């Protein structure tokens, strides 16, 4: 299926991480087609995933930290003017991507964190709710029991949604949202809200977004690196592959142990993706098709 990444896609184009990204991209296309802006399309596409409680790594339904508290991270970036907004360790608000966009559009800042991010959300009319679903609570209690027995292994849940969009007029934007690594230390922040790590958009070049183990992405500014490789003339997939190999060289460990995966979208409409996780899939939705693609596996 990776050959589909070399196929021609027609604007508008949306690309996102994981199978749940397909319905998010379809929502984005619908919003854009109904007259919404590209920023509206990105936000509402990601909102769909954030509110899906069956997705245990994003938004409402996301697995909590080690204390049983759901803390959400998100970033939003507009390729026009390099505008950006982000939230980190946000508690009590199911749509962090919307809060991140509000920060981008109404303040002079880029990121708010913790209780102050929640206060900003409240002051701007966002509705709070109990974020720990019954299923997430059960999973957390199971984790606590395993840890008490001394056999709690590292949890796999780190399936961030990164969604990138390119409108017919060439406008580029993107967003990234996650509940982060399951049962993380309270206050842990991964790559997703960090501009240049989990997400980067340059309207004159392209965009990139990440999913996987955030620490392995943020130490290398992975998404920014991919955009810079595209600036040098690489295809999106080539750029993703080279960034992964750069990370592998720095980590000095086998690539299959990294759990880093990227999607990318160039300003001319070429899409790409690559990852180290065998199960990684990305979704692409354009003017005429909606597909799931197995990207290049980097080894």
Write out the catalytic residue numbers. Answer: 160
Beta strands in the chain (DSSP E): 13-17, 72-78, 83-90, 111-113, 161-166, 172-178, 199-202, 206-212, 260-266, 271-275, 282-285, 290-293, 296-297
Q: Is the peptide bond before 128 cis (omega within 30 degrees of 0)?
A: no
222 neighbors 247 (Cβ within 8 angstroms): yes
Structure tokens at 115: 């209780």
* Contacts for 138 with CB less than 8 Å, ≥ 6 apart: none
The Cα-based distances of 201 to 6, 60, 76, 117, 133 in angstroms read 21, 26, 9, 23, 33
Query: CA–CA separation, 193 vs 81, rounded Å?
Result: 19
114 membership: H or E segment, kind and range: helix 114-123
Which three-class secondary structure state does DSSP give residue 293?
Answer: strand
For β-strands 172-178 and 199-202, DSSP reports them as: unpaired
The Cα-based distances of 18 to 159, 253, 258 in angstroms read 7, 25, 17
How does DSSP assign 206-243, residue by residue?
A: EEEEEEE-HHHHHTTTHHHHHHHHHHTT--HHHHHHHH
The Cα-based distances of 280 to 24, 51, 189 in angstroms read 16, 22, 22
178 neighbors 62 (Cβ within 8 angstroms): yes
């Amino acid at each position: 299926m990776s050959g589909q990444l070399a196929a021609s896609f027609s604007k508008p184009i949306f690309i996102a991480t994981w199978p749940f990204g397909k319905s998010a991209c379809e929502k984005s296309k619908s919003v854009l087609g109904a007259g919404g802006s590209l920023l509206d399309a990105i936000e509402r596409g990601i909102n769909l995933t954030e509110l899906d409680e069956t997705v245990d790594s994003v938004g409402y339904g996301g697995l909590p930290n080690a204390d049983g508290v759901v803390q959400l991270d998100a970033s939003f970036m507009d390729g026009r003017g390099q505008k950006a907004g982000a939230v980190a360790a946000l508690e009590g608000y199911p749509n962090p991507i919307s809060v991140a966009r509000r920060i981008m559009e109404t303040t002079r800042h880029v990121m708010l964190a913790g209780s102050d991010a929640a206060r900003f959300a409240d002051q701007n009319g966002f509705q709070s709710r109990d974020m720990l679903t019954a299923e997430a609570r059960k999973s957390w209690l199971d984790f606590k029991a395993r840890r008490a027995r001394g056999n709690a292994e590292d949890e796999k849940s780190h399936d961030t949604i990164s969604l990138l969009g390119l409108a017919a007029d060439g406008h580029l934007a993107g967003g990234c949202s996650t509940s982060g690594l399951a049962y993380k230390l309270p206050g842990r922040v991964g790559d997703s809200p960090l501009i240049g790590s989990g997400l980067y958009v340059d309207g004159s070049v392209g965009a990139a977004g990440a999913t996987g183990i955030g620490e392995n992405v943020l130490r290398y500014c992975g998404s920014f690196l991919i955009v810079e490789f595209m600036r040098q003339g690489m295809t999106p997939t080539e750029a993703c592959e080279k960034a992964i190999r750069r990370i592998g060289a720095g980590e000095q460990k086998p690539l299959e142990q990294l759990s880093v995966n990227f999607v990318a979208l160039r300003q001319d409409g070429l899409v790409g993706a690559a990852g180290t996780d065998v199960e990684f899939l990305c979704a692409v939705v354009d003017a005429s098709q909606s597909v799931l693609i197995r990207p290049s596996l980097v080894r």
